Every structure is written in structure tokens, then in C-alpha cells.
Amino acid sequence: MQVELEQQLQRLSPLEIKVMEQIANQSQPISIGEIIRKSELSIQESVNLIQSLKKRLLLDRQLDNNLTVFTLNPVWKQYLQNKI
């Protein structure tokens, strides 16, 4: 399974990987505002990256007290935490 995950990871841009790693390091779901602050990207860049990751089914969106937050699939989260 690690080979398949690595192959998928190689298809991502460096910024997509950076955002995924940031989300993987969070113990709780993360808001887009937190993603922007932690990544130091523009709002538009962050939105584009999140949309791209959602289209690839790598990112899950949830509502938490009327706030949209994002998480990674548990398999991806574990893989990235071990890789970092």
C-alpha cells in the first residue's frame, strides 16, 4: 500500500503536499483560515489547493459549529505523519 500512496503523492504539486502535511500534523480538523496562516499562501492559492485536494478525494470537508474544517483520510494522515 505504501507504494500506491507514494505514487499518488508524486502526482501532487509541492504546495499540495505541503498543505496535506500541515493537515496531517493537526490533532483536530483544521479551518481554511488556519491553513492560510500556517502555509503563508494567499487566500486564492489556498482555496485552489483545497479544491484540488478535494477533487482527488484526499481531503474531507466537515462542518464544526457552522465552521468548515478539513481532515485527511486516516490512511493518508498516518502515512504522512510517518513520512515527515
CATH number of the domain that residue 77 is part of = 1.10.10.10
- pLDDT, residue 39, reads 85
Spacing of C-alpha 28 from chain mean position: 12
Counting as low any pLDDT under 50, the low residues of the chain are none
Q: Which amino acid is at 83?
A: K
Range of the structural domain that residue 37 is part of: 2-83
Q: Other C-beta atoms within 10 Å of 12: how many? A: 17
Beta bridge partners of 67: 64
- 37-52, pLDDT tens digit by residue? 988 889 999 999 999 9
Number of folded domains in the chain? 1
Please report the pLDDT score of residue 75 as a whole number. Answer: 92
Predicted model pTM: 0.86
